[in-house]
Structure 1
């Protein structure tokens, strides 16, 4: 029970989308009274019928002041709109405290099949483009909900806005597709775009570190409930690295998810209930029609011009970075005349919704009141303009509001990435230098070898802990990795002037392996000068800002998917092979006196699962004998392509 309680606390952090958070209870009370919502809002719970007859549980908070009309702010969530009961109130509602204080009708809804709503849940339910009268998906559920709200809530002004972080951010995106006419503004924040590239997968690699979260999404239920129907795996250790190393192949985790692929029920297995999300991943290791149908990015050409969108992303979001960036870029691509903006700030997952003054990610401090400034000057103005104002495209807000994580300052641009950028290419030389001069002849292309020992994989963090979903590693000091023989390091000299990256990064590796399978991880690192003093009193005591190796961006490519995520293929042993890895956008200035470093490795444990390093049809079903230590090679004609601000 103690372990489950601890996981429940961690889960509250994971579902940061449910309510804006304060750092401490003391800070929360200093900001606003716990009874503010109860004192100023009426609460009503209703079950709204969908077109197929299922009812979705919905909680409505309406201002007690009925002398004026208000817009509706709607969040649809799989994480519960608790507390349940007309006499039980949240202490904070809406996207931020400003919007709560000034008065809005705030609505929360349990999505289909979750908590108190009827129906059966489907993880990232597929969108149906041409539905029949009774067919439903999340777009129709959102449409039917908004239609009911504007027709049945008194004192509403007929305008609706949607918002949410993480999974609720996905539902905010969904609301814009085949949108109800009353929907005028949507802010998908850290929104999931495609589950093969967000959260549980990165370029085909399974994020083993999210192991604990699987039952949250995959435990079956078909009846409304106000209590958790899922339970979390108990690891019985505080050393996550050793736990997964001892467990071995992924198939050994089946026991935690009651996964038993038997066609016939027997006395032994008749009571087993598979975790349908785990089963889905095990049975669909490639980007097949199942995963493709669940993605929403490909449907963003259906966002009408009547819906204004503000996409919010954390530059150090370990969970959902692909989703918001691709959502913004694809609305821009398909609907260039829409009002569509991006906020890209120095946050981890959902950090912009917190009310803590000091803004840091892990050990790295970025400044004070960054989130509060966003909430007051950007988010509140966005919703007010489109829901209470004239709703014109002249909102007074920037197209792209982005934070330079090196200079620690905000910048505004008319387009993202900025127009005044230039591609610059650096090569990985055999003497561990990062250089701009390419090898001019084959004889100058050198192999750089390292042994990838599956018994001693490279850790993603030097912390010894178990964690529900890791976040702080996104800015972690990478010295511990740079000093390992199975991590290749390439570095510039001290920079003589500022060097600003603004946009995506493309690693173009030329590699080989003695095996037939491998993962490839590339990290972009800002090496700080030796004479820097600590500016964060909360930095872990064993670290110093002196020579700090700050990770700016990182990504993995499961080598089998180098040419196609749908059709994996092995490596030919010892054959030179191209592997390209797209790293998500950054906006970071490597300041004068700093160094730009690239690290290349093949394990990142247990952030991602271990690759057997011999090709198997399905890694989820690999056996112990499939795992082999191999020697990998990176050739010195490998390069990193940056978008550099001029």
Structure 2
């Protein structure tokens, strides 16, 4: 298997087992493929593949269902056909005019690639962005594909999810349905950064995003820059690499995207203009945003996009779906659905595809656009009770804010007056997983629900746990960490984990071989926050040694029932390696450029008036 095909398989989420020849021939038997260059308003031409149903006619018109991507629309050639079209097989067999397009600067399209293309003012023909490219593409399709029904939908997962989300801003009258799936909303909190903290677990992905092509390409041109594993122990690679600065200088000095990240440690204009969220206004068509509770790459994106559209575009028919999936996992059926060691049920992806996704597109593209599709406003999978729940608003209105105070290794209803203390050494960071093979991957996934017992008891991890629960408690919505800390040094990160501790005699309905489920410490949610950004993301600010300081930040949302007989636990540490780069714990204007000389050991206190604020479903 060629390297670029392997990369596409691993990272671009082309899921599913090999198909029978009968299934593989469905596309070729039922569609005619055309390849065209579509000219944008500034003259740049974007390469586009169009699959047109063979039975299309004046009496049998079809809508357009489009995906724009930076991940290749292969196979190329009008006699070379994809084996699957659209977001699922049901929609493929219902038949649409399926359209795939390479975005600017990628594969066969002209132009220069930009990560998270900034939105611009649309005052002239030379002012272009992804929304204008979406508009111009739709305009060409409507005018040039005979017997289309005048309606267009769009879909995409991960980066194509971003192109779908930004495409909602095109304002083309033919665009009636958009489904951004695992979309990026703001790189400051998606994929490469969390609250501005560099996600080291993405280190191997940078050739995909930071090497410009110099000519039209039908295959990946960046494979020579890929870092190949040399050991099953993926942690060894990161330990041998040294600091983030060492890794950058050794592997990615010529990588334009890595250089941009290294040179912009603060939420400055570079990052601000790449945020999609401020622009999500005046959307009036149907939008269904989809995400996974165990999406290690883009969990905040779907939540933030849905909430922003809900707030700023009241005319939009706005829906959100969050399931027990990893990144893009809803696009393939697993049968018995596991994430890492945890079983969630059977045929969950099929339920979503058949009853939600297909209904959404068929209704708005083939039915009465003015009527509601009859979907719930929010379809959220409860990862503790293992069931779908429907809500008329999200976050749900029928919740009560509750503070769990961090006192003396317990979670309490009231604040205490003391503190807990731990010792943090950047040279001996807390591991982010016990699965050493996982560190060799393109992006981390399993850690999102992994057993956290490997971290318990370390001197650089403090733990707070409830008594055994006497009744179920459902956390539904947003989580806020409200920490009051003090450090002997001038900088620190704070990693907070929300954990479901299973009963000692727990036996799951379905299990993985070799896993001890009794007393399993399942991570439910987590996040990291650099203390330097506690007051402003735009400018880092040093800690004053030994001074009590508030560090408040949001964890990503949750929908999880902690069952009777379980416990709720919070773990806090200041390193989380190699998932995230190590904070030197000495304040620097640019911590990305820290050297080993800057590494500073510290004693860190977490005061007992610190709390984790959650929303409990009534």
TM-score computed with the length of structure 1 as normaliser: 0.93
1:436-482: CA deviation from partner (whole Å, max 9, x where unpaired): 1223xxxxx11211111222211111011211100011000111112
Give 1:223 shift.
2.2
Relative distance call for 1:130 and 1:48 in structure 2 (3 A) is closer
The answer as to 2:427 corresponding to 1:427 is no
Q: Partner of 1:621 in structure 2?
A: 593
Residue 413 of structure 2: aligned partner:
436
Q: Deviations over 1:290-337 (max 9, x none)?
A: 11001101100142x1x1100101011110011110100000111123
Answering whether residue 382 of structure 2 is matched by residue 404 of structure 1, we say: yes
Give me the whole-angstrom Cα distance separating, in 1, the residues matched to 2:453 and 2:593.
34
Partner of 1:319: 297
**Shift of the alpha carbon at 1:199?**
0.1
Shift of 1:533: 1.6
Alignment partners' CA distance in 2, 1:392 and 1:473: 43
Give distance in 2, aligned partners of 1:422 and 1:70.
47
Q: Does 1:12 align with 2:6?
A: no
User: Which deviations, in whole Å up to 9, do the C-alpha atoms of 1:522-545 show, x marking residues without a partner?
Assistant: 0000111111124334x262x222
Unpaired stretches in structure 2, ≥5 consecutive residues: none
Please point out which of 413, 416, 420 is paired with 2:391. 413
Q: Residue by residue, what CA displacement relative to the aligned partner does 1:154-201 show, whole Å, maximum 9, x if unpaired?
A: 221010000100100000011111321110000001100011110000
Cα separation, 2, equivalents of 1:119 and 1:230: 17
Q: 1:500 to 1:534 in 2, by over 3 A?
A: closer
Distance 2:430 2:452 in 1: 11
Instruction: Report deviation, 1:356.
Output: 2.4
Shift of 1:246: 2.4
| Inter-partner Cα distance in structure 1 for 2:421 and 2:578 | 23
CA 1:243–1:598 in 2, change beyond 3 Å: closer, same or farther? same
- Tell me the secondary structure at the aligned position of residue 499 of structure 2: strand
Give the direction of change, closer, same or farther, for the CA distance of 1:393–1:516 in structure 2 (3 Å limit). farther
- Contact map agreement 2:317 2:372 (CA 8 A) in 1: no
* Paired residue secondary structure (1:278): helix
Of residues 567, 571, 593, the one that matches 2:565 is 593
Question: Is 1:42 aligned with 2:42?
Answer: no
Check whether the contact 2:8–2:71 (CA below 8 A) recurs between aligned residues. no
Partner Cα separation in structure 2 for residue 511 and residue 241 of structure 1: 30
Match of 2:256 in 1: 276
Q: Deviations over 1:54-73 (max 9, x none)?
A: 11000111111124111100
* Aligned residue among 238, 246, 254 for 1:244: 238
Q: 2:469 aligns with which of 480, 495, 511?
A: 495
Aligned partner of residue 550 in structure 1, secondary structure:
strand
- Report the Cα offset of residue 40 of structure 1: 1.2
**Residue pair 2:134, 2:170 contacting (<8 A) in 1 also:** no
CA distance in 2, matches of 1:380, 1:250: 44
Task: Identify the match of residue 79 of structure 1 among 71, 77, 84.
Answer: 71
Contact 2:494 2:529 in 1 (8 A): yes
Query: Quick one: distance in 2 between partners of 1:578 and 1:564?
Result: 13
Q: Give runs of aligned pairs for residues 306-385 of structure 1, distance below 5 A.
A: 307-385=285-363
Partner SS state of residue 495, structure 2: strand
Q: State the alpha-carbon separation in 2 of the partners of residues 570 and 507 from structure 1.
A: 20
Output aligned runs, 1:11-410, within 5 Å: 11-16=8-13, 19=14, 21-22=15-16, 24-25=17-18, 28-29=19-20, 33-67=23-57, 68-231=60-223, 232-259=226-253, 274-303=254-283, 305=284, 307-410=285-388
Q: Distance in 2 between matches of 1:573 and 1:34?
A: 64
Q: Aligned partners of 2:252 and 2:296: how far apart in 1?
A: 28
Contact 2:56 2:62 (8 Å CA) reproduced: no
Match of 2:519, SS state, is coil
Moved more, 196-205 or 60-69: 60-69
* 1:177 alignment partner, SS class: helix
Report how many residues are paired.
612
* Counterpart Cα distance in 1 of 2:89 and 2:308: 31
What residue number does 2:496 align with?
Answer: 522
SS in 2 for 1:312: strand
Tell me: CA distance 1:115–1:70, structure 2 relative to 1, closer, same or farther (3 Å): same
Q: Check whether the contact 1:76–1:171 (CA below 8 A) recurs between aligned residues.
A: yes
CA shift for structure 1 position 393: 4.0
**CA RMSD, aligned part only?**
1.5
Q: Deviation digits for residues 406-462 of structure 1, max 9, x if unmatched?
A: 1101111110111110101110112x11111223xxxxx112111112222111110
The CA distance in 1 between the partners of 2:20 and 2:509, in whole Å, is: 27
TM-score (norm 2): 0.97
The 5-angstrom pairing of residues 478-489 of structure 1 reads: 478-489=452-463
Alignment-derived partner of residue 270 in structure 1: none
Contact in 2 for aligned 1:309/1:339 (Cα 8 Å):
yes
